[in-house]
C-alpha cells in the first residue's frame, strides 16, 4: 500500500532543517479504498484512535505506518536510532481558521510524519503547509506542501523546525504519526486529545 521504495530514493533536505516530501506515497487505487474507510471524526483538531473506528483499508494502512520496515527506513533517512521510542498517532478531518499557526512541534517529539488524506488535488491556495526559515514570516519558506491525498511529509523536530500555513476552514484530512521521547508523552497527549474529542462528540449536532 505504501511506496517504501519511493521514500527510500527521495533525497533528504537539510535547509532549513531535515525534512523530505513524497507525493503519491500511497498507491492511487489503494488510496481510494483507504478514503472509503476513513474514520468519521467529530470535529476539527486531532483525534486519537481510541475514540475512532479504525477498520478496513484505513487500518491496513496504519498498520503499515507502524510496521518495523517503515520505522527502519525513517531511521535510515534521518540517521537516527528510534529503537524503543514509543509512537503515537492522531487523525484529523477538519481544519479551523485558527489552525496552522507557525510552530516547531514540542520538544517531546523526535520525528513527525504527516500523511495527507484529501482528494487527488487541493484546490485552495490556503491550507498548504510551508517549511519556514523562521518563526515569524509565513512568506519566508523553502517548500510548500500541497495536502493532496497520499502526500507524505517527514521531518526531524528541532528548535528551528518552523512550519505553518495560511488560515483554512473546512475539510482537511491528515494523519500525524510521531516518535516521541517516552511513554509518558503518549499517555498525556493521547489522553488530552481523547478528552477534547469526547467533548466535541458530545456537542456534535445530531443527524437523522
pLDDT tens-digit series, residues 65-76: 999 999 999 999
Question: Over the range 79-112, which residues count as b (16 or more CB within 10 Å of their CB) and which as e?
Answer: eeeeeebbbbbbbbbbbeeebbeeebbeeebbbb
Residue 203: its pLDDT value, please? 46
**108 has pLDDT over 50:** yes
**142 has pLDDT over 70:** yes
Which of the pair, 205 or 102, is modelled with greater confidence?
102
Supply the DSSP symbol for 136: S
Average pLDDT over residues 87-93: 97
Q: In what order do the strands lie in the sheet with 129-132?
A: 141-145, 129-132, 163-164
* pLDDT 10s digits, 45-61: 999 999 899 999 999 99
CA–CA dist 15, 134 (Å, integer): 12
Copy the grid coordinates of residue 184.
509518558
Backbone phi, then psi, for 139, in 5-degree steps? -85, -10
Copy the grid coordinates of residue 32.
481510494
What domains can be seen in the chain, in order of their start residue? 4-197 (2.60.120.620)
Integer CA distances (angstroms), 35 to 55, 93, 129, in order: 11, 11, 21
Residue 197: its pLDDT value, please? 52
Other beta carbons less than 10 A from residue 115's beta carbon? 25
Copy the grid coordinates of residue 115.
500523511
- Tell me the average pLDDT of the chain: 92
**8 has pLDDT over 70:** yes
CA–CA dist 183, 162 (Å, integer): 25
Average pLDDT over residues 1-7: 97
Q: Express as a percent the part of the chain with pLDDT over 90.
A: 85
pLDDT band at 187 (very low <50, low <70, confident <90, very high): confident
Copy the grid coordinates of residue 110.
523526535
User: Cis peptide leading into 16, omega within 30 of 0?
Assistant: yes
Which of the pair, 152 or 205, is modelled with greater confidence?
152
Copy the grid coordinates of residue 117.
488524506
Residue 168: its pLDDT value, please? 97
CA–CA dist 144, 21 (Å, integer): 10
Residue 71: its pLDDT value, please? 98
CA–CA dist 141, 148 (Å, integer): 19
CA–CA dist 163, 107 (Å, integer): 15
Amino acid at each position: 500500500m505504501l511506496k517504501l521504495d519511493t521514500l527510500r530514493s527521495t533525497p533528504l533536505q537539510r535547509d532549513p532543517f531535515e525534512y523530505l516530501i513524497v507525493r503519491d506515497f500511497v498507491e492511487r487505487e489503494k488510496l481510494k479504498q483507504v478514503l472509503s474507510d476513513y474514520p468519521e471524526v467529530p470535529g476539527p483538531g486531532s483525534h486519537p484512535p481510541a475514540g475512532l473506528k479504525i477498520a478496513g483499508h484505513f487500518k491496513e494502512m496504519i498498520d503499515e505506518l507502524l510496521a518495523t520496515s517503515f520505522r527502519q527506513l525513517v531511521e535510515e533517512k534521518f540517521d537516527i536510532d528510534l529503537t524503543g521510542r514509543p509512537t503515537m498517532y492522531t487523525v484529523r478531518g477538519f481544519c479551523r481558521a485558527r489552525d496552522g499557526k507557525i510552530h516547531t512541534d514540542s520538544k517531546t517529539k523526535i520525528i513527525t510524519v504527516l500523511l495527507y488524506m484529501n482528494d487527488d488535488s487541493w484546490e485552495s491556495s490556503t491550507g498548504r503547509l510551508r517549511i519556514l526559515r523562521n518563526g515569524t514570516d509565513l512568506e519566508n519558506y523553502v517548500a510548500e506542501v500541497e495536502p493532496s491525498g497520499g502526500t507524505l511529509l517527514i521531518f526531524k523536530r528541532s528548535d528551528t523546525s518552523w512550519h505553518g500555513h495560511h488560515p483554512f476552514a473546512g475539510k482537511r484530512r491528515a494523519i500525524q504519526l510521531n516518535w516521541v521521547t517516552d511513554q509518558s508523552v503518549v499517555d498525556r497527549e493521547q489522553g488530552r486529545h481523547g478528552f477534547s474529542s469526547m467533548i466535541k462528540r458530545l456537542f456534535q449536532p445530531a443527524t437523522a
